[in-house]
Amino acid sequence: MSELSFMMLLAEGFREEREWRAIYAPKFWPSTLMESSTEIISGIPQIVYKIPLDAKVSDRFTDLDFPRIFDRLIVGPTSYPWPMYEAFVDALKKAGVDDAEKRLCVSGIPIRA
């Protein structure tokens, strides 16, 4: 399967799920608005890019202000849904999202092994 075919398959899946994903390719299209840091995830150092979806960072983000555009989040499937739920509620409140508890739900889909 070609890379283009794979990406089209992914796009169709996101449309069906009514999801969207942001992809950042700094080697092809760098941006001074992106924040980066080196973080260790599961013991592996990685460069992590963060999108500052905050109108206070730049007027270019006025329409993308995170508390305005965030709708809801489904947590899981995961072995630890409730600790993750609490962590996301805390992070969303810190990001200025009102009623964070009501905008999150835990997936009832079992984890495939």
Question: Closest by alpha carbon to 51, among 23, 14, 88?
Answer: 23
Compute CA distances 97 → 21, 47, 73, whole Å.
20, 27, 12
The model carries a pTM of 0.59
Q: Give the 3-state secondary structure of residue 12.
A: helix
At residue 21, the pLDDT reads: 64
How many whole angstroms separate alpha carbon 55 and alpha carbon 62? 5
At residue 44, the pLDDT reads: 96
Place of tokens 């796009």: 11
Percent of the chain whose predicted confidence (pLDDT) is above 70 = 80
**Residues of the chain predicted below pLDDT 50:** 1-9
At residue 5, the pLDDT reads: 47
Percent of the chain whose predicted confidence (pLDDT) is above 90 = 30
How many whole angstroms separate alpha carbon 68 and alpha carbon 56? 13
